[in-house]
Amino acid sequence: MSEKSIFSRLRGKRPRPRIVGAWLLCFGWMLLAACRADEPAGLSDTDAASLLRIERTDSFARVDVLDAWNAGKVLQTYVLVPRSRPLPESLPAGQLLRTPLHRAVVFSSVHASLLYDLGCQRQILGLCDAAHVRRSEITDDLAAGKLADLGSSMHPDAERIAAARPDALLVSPFENSGHGPLEPLGVPLVECADYMERSALGRAEWMRFFGLLFGCEERADSLLRAVRSSYDSLRTAAADVAERPTLLCDLKQGSTWYVPGGESYLGRLYADAGAHYLFADQTVSGSAALSPEAVFARASQADFWLVKYGAQRDLTYAQLAADDALYRQFGPWQRRRIYGCNTYAVPYYEEAPFHPDLLLRDLIRIFHPALLPGHRLRYFTPLQGDEAR
């Protein structure tokens, strides 16, 4: 029996000042006390996250990370027991983690940045892909030796990681792929599947899991409430727009053009911003691989084109045309309706995943400027370079 079910029955019913009423109230509290300590006390507030389930008891929390590629299956189960408490005699099956984590290795600057937001940066032992970090506090700590640079996330320095004796590795799962040299180390692997969530707020809700892992639940809950409130207000403002401009995203890579799937958190975020995303019918939660010809056939006359890239110099229309002559045949190139996000210059990947309201604000300003006339773009800016007309 859960506390939630008991309180839902008691809520709004005021006991009468009689012996029977007092006895019933006592009986209710006796039932509460009789609930087994190892019985889940109810799901946490992860109503938007589809790949995360959290159950709490008085002595531990159980977290299921669901398999994004196999519906209904669990990728990994974690049993979180506070360090301040002895291990319960009976625990459910799963990877045991003593919390808060003290010496974590983080494989993505996305999650490292969230931990900095939550004030848990001193619980990070090291970081992979350090060269891609753009958040100044993280780069300063790397330079000062407060964070170890542990190599590429695709080819991590397993020997250095083992020598550092971390208590957990925060990694990202991929379809039909393990974690290679990390698995024999015997260090718990925390599968961070948040990037496969199908909504922006669903991904943001994963900060609750990080709050549990690092002992900062209240800060995580407070941040999530602020993000959710801001996002909902912006989404409501864009919900009733009279016209939804058509949208194309990203660039081709070799002979393939990867576009966000319509079921991805980005695909849904574009809809929340009041755009008609031209590839919303690609019903995948990751990226869809298309041919450049297929993209051109559908999106050659898109109203807007959003491009993410990482370079020391900002992308221009001239450079885009020089990279591939096909680009200049798109309507947004000809009408100068391309907006670029230089991830080398702005902390897009450090901020946007867990602060989707900041990205949503940019997109609404681009698609419907009258709704946010005073907003200064944070990530995306208009491409420059008229000499290539």
Kindly report, residue by residue over 20-63, the tens digit of the pLDDT: 333 333 333 333 333 333 333 334 446 899 999 999 999 999 99
Residue limits of CATH 3.40.50.1980 in the chain: 52-225, 240-388
Helices (H) and strands (E) in the chain — how many of each? 14, 17
Q: State residue 175's pLDDT score.
A: 86
| pLDDT value, residue 386 | 60
**348 pLDDT more than 50:** yes
Whose structure tokens read 């019913």?
13
* Strand (E) or helix (H) holding 234: helix 217-239
CA distance 198 to 374: 30
Query: What are the pLDDT digits (tens) for 240-279?
Result: 999 999 999 999 999 999 999 999 999 999 999 999 999 9
Cα atoms in the 13 Å half-sphere on the side-chain side of 25: 11
What are the two backbone dihedrals, phi and then psi, of residue 267, each rounded to the nearest 5 degrees? -60, -40
72 token code pair = 């209904």
Please report which confidence band the pLDDT of residue 285 belongs to, taking 50, 70 and 90 as the band edges: confident
Residue 244 is predicted with a pLDDT of: 98
Per-residue confidence (pLDDT) for residue 25, from 0 to 100: 34
Cα–Cα distance list, 360 to 105, 244, 322, 337 (Å) = 30, 15, 31, 18
CB 290 within 8 A of CB 298: no
Q: Which residues are within 8 A (CB) of 251 and not within 5 positions of it... i.e. 6 or more apart?
A: 257, 307, 309, 323, 327
- Round the average pLDDT of the chain to a whole number and report it: 88
CA nearest to 39, candidates 69, 20, 61, 23: 61
d(CA 275, CA 365): 11
HSE toward the beta carbon, residue 247, CA cutoff 13 A = 30
Q: What is the pLDDT of residues 53-73, one digit of tens each?
A: 999 999 999 999 999 999 999
Could you read off the pLDDT of 165-205 as tens digits, one per residue?
Answer: 999 999 999 988 889 899 999 999 999 999 999 999 999 99
Residue 34 and residue 66 in contact, taking contact as beta carbons nearer than 8 Å: no
Q: Summarize the confidence of residues 321-339 as an average pLDDT.
A: 97
DSSP 8-state secondary structure symbol assigned to residue 358 = H
Provide the percentage of residues in the chain whose pLDDT is more than 90: 84
C-beta of residue 364 within 8 angstroms of C-beta of residue 324: no
CATH number at 240-388: 3.40.50.1980
Closest C-alpha to 194, from 273, 258, 108:
108
What is the percent of the chain where pLDDT is above 70?
87
Give me the architecture of the 52-225 domain, per CATH: 3-Layer(aba) Sandwich (3.40)
> What is the four-CA torsion angle of 83, 194, 376, 361, rounded to 10 degrees?
-110
Grade residue 380 by pLDDT with cuts at 50, 70 and 90: very high
Per-residue pLDDT at 286 exceeds 90: no
pLDDT score of 305: 98
CB 115 within 8 A of CB 121: yes
